[in-house]
Amino acid sequence: MNTASSHQGAARRPLSRWPQGLGALALGLSLTLAPALSQAQARELPDFTELVDRVGPAVVNIKTSEKAKPTESPAMDEQMQEFLRRFGIPVPRRGGPRNGDEDAPTRRGLGSGFILSSDGFVMTNAHVVEGADEVLVTLTDKREFKAKVIGLDKRTDVAVVKIEASGLPQVKIGDSGRLKVGEWVMAIGSPFGFDNSVTAGIVSAKQRDTGDFLTFIQTDVAINPGNSGGPLLNMRGEVVGINSQIYSQSGGFMGISFAIPIDEAIRVSEQLRAGGRVQRGRIGVGIVDLSKDVAEAIGLGKPTGALVQRVESGSPAEKAGIEGGDVITKVEGKSIQSAAELRRSIAAIKPGSKAMVQVFRRGATKDLTLTVAELEADKPAKSAEPEARPASGAAAALGLGLAEISEAQRKELKLRGGVLVENAEGPAARAGLREGDIILSVDNVEVATVKQLQAQLAKLEKAKLINLLVRRGDAVSFVLVKPGAR
């Protein structure tokens, strides 16, 4: 016990002396290391000053004006006008035109842009210059130029304008495909008319699907009205996107902004500079995404590709042999994950070019070659309800009343087969089937008569989920019917 006590006392005495020496040592170390730590922390934080000096002169302010049409009535209360002005929204003067165009009220808009080439080509958003009667571009040195709109593409919101000048500073184009989530980025623009305002943040996400013809870069960089058309820059000072949209419930920045990837914007701008418009491919199909349940039911497994609901008459798809109910899984060897991706892939192909597409049909894949047409305005869907000759027999267990379709009706509807649904109750109705639908296949097996349909249903397991390929109007989709009590 005494030995233990002496050991404890011996241990306590040295420990009681450590704090003074350790404290002095710690103080000395903190004084020595504090500047080094501060410098290290400063080095880790991004410094945008060099980027602003280098890129800022190539960023421009864009002002637009548009005379109101004689039929427009722009009168509104002053409070509403002031609210719209605050967010850079063009506001016409009170009253309509009185003595011709010179007295017509004028809409004014604000935006940003950046110089693509030293001879005066400037990129911005299409919505900044669309409909403008006059476009003014102001440089950082306060020089102002009237600009000519070379072309704009509303589908991607990209526009190119031209000013008559030479020896201009120009931006360096980067690679938006190399961007990483979490990477620092910077924006320069004219929010609310404050020229060359700089904001910064990080890449929040990539490949945001917000449109049919491109995906967006999502950032938390502060973007407000007037920033539209300005550049999004990486830390090397390269343009990686065009600031285009914000997600907002207030009209102002709320932490989510979107930029057009510069790779896509450059492709569009090159076509605009060459011909004033953008050509896109089309194959003439109506498509939707494939659900997990349908993918499993038809034997595809994963919900990838785009389900063909309708095929336009005389279209490249029809000529190539694509059918309603096909799932397009590849274009030119590249896997397709969604309907939106298929639209973008086809749109990127030059009209008149041949393309190879792979389709999944009734448990097997098939390669088809087609000639891509040019995308035009969407055509209204043609709807036709067949007149059926009633026939005896029905898939009673599913609540289906069925009827044959005549050869004349098949020819009119361009069908190889199919069975008409006269009425749907129980499981069939719960699955969404209704009178007038045409059942084209049962579990990937085509049916042309009521007898064939009944025979195919009889082969299936009673508790198995049944997949039916159904045509409604001119659209085709899969319907999954769960057998059960009526």
Nearest to 231 by CA among 204, 256, 196: 196
437 is catalytic: no
Q: How many Å apart are CA 79 and CA 228, to the nearest integer?
A: 25
Among residues 230, 45, 61, which one has the least CA distance to residue 137? 61
SS3 category, 193 = helix
> Which phi and psi (to 5°) does residue 29 adopt?
-65, -40
Residue 403's φ and ψ, nearest 5 degrees, are -145, 155
DSSP states along 417-479: --EEEEEE-HHHHHHT--TT-EEEEETTEE--SHHHHHHHHHHS-TTSPEEEEEEETTEEEEE
Residue in 197, 228, 257, 269 annotated catalytic: 228
Residue for token pair 């892939």: 345
Is residue 127 among the annotated active site residues? yes
Residue positions counted in the chain: 486
Cβ distance 111 to 226 under 8 Å?
A: yes
Q: Per the residue annotation, which of 153, 157, 195, 326 is the catalytic one?
A: 157
Virtual torsion, Cα 172, 185, 270, 189, nearest 10 deg = -90
For 244, half-sphere exposure in the C-beta direction (CA atoms, 13 angstrom radius) is 27
Which residues contact residue 432 at a Cβ distance below 8 angstroms, ignoring those fewer than 6 apart? 479
Of 65, 117, 119, 127, catalytic: 127
Q: Is there a catalytic annotation at residue 228? A: yes
What DSSP assignment string belongs to 333-375? TEE--SHHHHHHHHHTSPTT-EEEEEEEETTEEEEEEEE-EE-
Instruction: Give Cα separations from 280 to 106, 113, 375 (angstroms).
Output: 35, 25, 5
Alpha helices, DSSP H, located in 66-111: 78-86
| Residue numbers annotated as active site | 127, 157, 228
